[in-house]
Amino acid sequence: MKPHALVTNDDGIDSGFLHQLVEALLPEFRVSVAAPAFEQSWIGRAMTRRDEVEVIHSPSVFAGTNDAWAISGTPTDCVNIALGHLLPEKPDIVLSGINIGYNTTETLILSSGTIAGAIEGAQWGLPAIAFSKCVPNALFTEVNHSKGQTSGNFSHSLKAAAARAAQISKDVLAEPPASGTVLNINFPSETRADTEIVDTHPAKIELGSLFEEVSPGRYRFCFHHGTIVQTEEATDRSALEAGQISRSLLDFSKIGRS
């Protein structure tokens, strides 16, 4: 029997990047999807505490999957509810992504809903991987506003990234990392079937304020890439700049241990 993958994301259940990942997984995996009903980027590991979370059974959204649900909560909500209530048995692996844009550096990793979805899977003792795809600056606004719809050469790059994600998922199941860890995979703007995978660690950056004043006493989020504060080799950012696939192992198993 094929292994079973639970898939989530933070860009929403209608994201083209999520659909590409599911399509690439289906030949080798049984797939269940529990994804936010709407975008939940930059939400980190937030959980919905005060409001009810609606779960909408949506099997027709993904042809060929075991099941799918659109959930009016965060990525962490999605995985927690799916594992605790929706799936009849635990899946073999939890996958999150493919995110529209990279999730690199310590600061962005801690802010990422995509990473958080994978962390929740790891907290249940399951192998967990977060996938993110670098989008060229010139295309990002268009791709983001179109909910991950792509065209031209970038479509080929995304399809190649999804295929690599499926293969990485198979490889991880064959040789799972330690319990409590998350594999953070970032694909470069141009991803091919033969793009090199390199082991990296999160780069250290200074972001400063991510808000701009729009009128007296009112501020609006304004992303920028930040400044690298330590020049080191083998960081996730340097790998993407070199056109490589970044593979970072995030270890949450030692939190609270002296």
**Percentage helix, strand, coil for the chain under 3-state DSSP, each rounded to 5:** 30, 25, 40
Residues 6+ apart with CB under 8 A from 166: 21, 24, 25, 27, 28, 29
Domain extent listing, the chain:
4-203+232-251
Q: Look at residues 155, 154, 172 and name the one whose alpha carbon lies nearest to residue 95.
A: 172
pLDDT tens for 131-152 read 999 999 889 889 888 888 887 8
- Bond before 56 cis per omega within 30 degrees: no
Q: Which helix (H) or strand (E) holds 152?
A: helix 152-174
Predicted confidence at residue 256, as pLDDT, reads 54
Site of tokens 């050469």 = 153
Lowest average pLDDT, out of 11-15, 24-28, 227-231, 243-247, goes to 227-231
What pLDDT score does 207 carry? Answer: 82
Per-residue model confidence as pLDDT tens digits over 180-211:
999 999 999 999 999 999 999 999 888 888 89
**Mean pLDDT of the chain, nearest integer:** 93
For 66-117, the pLDDT digits (tens) are 899 999 999 999 999 999 999 999 999 999 999 999 999 988 999 999 999 9
- In CATH, what number does 4-203+232-251 get? 3.40.1210.10
* DSSP string for residues in 54-121: -EEE-GGGSTT-SEEEEESS-HHHHHHHIIIII-SS--SEEEEEEEEB---HHHHHHH-HHHHHHHHH
State mean pLDDT over 160-172. Answer: 98
